[in-house]
C-alpha cells in the first residue's frame, strides 16, 4: 500500500530519500537504488525526488557523504568513551583505545553495510562533490591523526606504518564480514568477538 505523501520523516524529503537508499541497498544492493525506487519507497512522486537530487549518482554521493560523517562521529565517540573509562595516558591506554575505535569501525560496517559499501565506491559517486570531499577529509583526518587518537601520531598529515596497520586490519576484517566468506554464518556477537581477538593481538604493535 502506498504511503501518504506526508508520512516521510518529519517532512525532510532529502533525508528521507537517503533513508530509502539504506533500506533498498541493504536488501537488494546499491545497484538496485534509483531515485524513482526511493521516491516510491517513501510515497512521494519521482518529480519531488528529482528536485533534491539530479540523478542516481547525486543521490548516492549524498548517501556516501552521510556514511563518512557518521563513521567519523562514531570513531571519535568510541575513543572519547575509552579515554573517559581509563583516564591514564600511557601506552596501554592507547592500545585499549585502539580496540575501542577498531570495534566501532567494524560495528559500523556490520550494522550499516550499505553505508560501508557506499563510502568509497567511486564508480557510483561524484567524488569531486564539495560535501563529499569535506566528509572524506574529515574521516581521513581521524585516520591519519593517530587512528582517531588511539595511537601515537607524529604526522597528522600522512599515514604512518602503525596507522596503515590499524586501518587495513579493521577495514579488511569489516569487508570480510560484510561481503566476504567469514561473516556468512556468524552472529553479530561472534563477529565482534573475532574482531576483539584480532585487535587484542595487534595491541603489542602499539605498546612497544
Whether the predicted pLDDT of 174 surpasses 70: yes
- Residues 6 or more apart in contact with residue 197 via CB below 8 angstroms: none
Count CB-CB contacts under 10 A for residue 12: 12
Calpha distance 125→104 (Å, rounded): 25
pLDDT digits (tens, 9 = 90+) for 89-146: 554 456 788 899 999 999 999 999 999 999 999 999 999 999 999 999 999 988 888 8
Radius of gyration in angstroms for the set of CA atoms belonging to the chain, rounded to a whole number: 19
pLDDT digits (tens, 9 = 90+) for 62-72: 999 999 999 99
pLDDT for 103 equals 96
Q: How much is the pTM?
A: 0.86
pLDDT for 87 equals 63
User: Is residue 173 within 8 Å of residue 106, measured between CB atoms?
Assistant: yes
pLDDT for 208 equals 58
State which CATH number among 1.10.510.10, 3.40.50.880, 1.10.357.10, 3.40.50.970 fits the domain covering 64-206: 1.10.357.10
Q: Domain 9-50 is of which CATH architecture?
A: Orthogonal Bundle (1.10)
Count CB-CB contacts under 10 A for residue 123: 8
Amino acid at each position: 500500500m502506498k504511503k501518504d505523501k506526508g508520512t516521510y520523516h518529519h517532512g525532510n524529503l532529502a533525508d528521507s530519500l537517503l533513508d530509502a537508499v539504506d533500506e533498498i541497498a541493504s536488501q537488494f544492493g546499491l545497484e538496485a537504488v534509483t531515485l524513482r525506487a526511493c521516491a516510491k519507497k517513501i510515497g512521494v512522486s519521482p518529480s519531488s525526488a528529482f528536485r533534491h537530487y539530479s540523478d542516481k549518482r547525486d543521490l548516492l554521493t549524498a548517501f556516501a557523504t552521510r556514511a563518512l560523517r557518521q563513521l567519523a562521529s562514531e570513531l571519535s565517540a568510541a575513543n572519547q568513551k575509552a579515554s573517559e573509562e581509563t583516564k591514564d595516558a600511557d601506552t596501554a591506554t592507547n592500545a585499549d583505545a585502539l580496540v575501542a575505535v577498531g570495534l566501532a569501525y567494524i560495528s559500523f560496517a556490520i550494522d550499516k553495510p550499505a553505508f560501508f559499501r557506499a563510502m568509497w565506491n567511486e564508480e557510483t559517486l561524484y567524488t569531486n562533490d564539495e560535501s563529499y570531499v569535506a566528509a572524506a577529509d574529515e574521516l581521513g583526518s581521524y585516520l591519519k591523526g593517530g587512528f582517531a587518537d588511539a595511537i601515537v601520531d607524529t604526522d597528522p598529515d600522512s599515514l604512518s606504518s602503525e596507522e596503515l596497520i590499524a586501518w587495513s586490519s579493521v577495514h579488511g576484517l569489516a569487508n570480510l564480514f560484510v561481503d566476504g566468506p567469514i561473516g556468512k554464518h556468524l552472529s553479530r556477537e561472534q563477529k565482534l568477538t573475532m574482531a576483539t581477538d584480532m585487535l587484542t593481538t595487534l595491541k603489542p604493535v602499539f605498546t612497544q
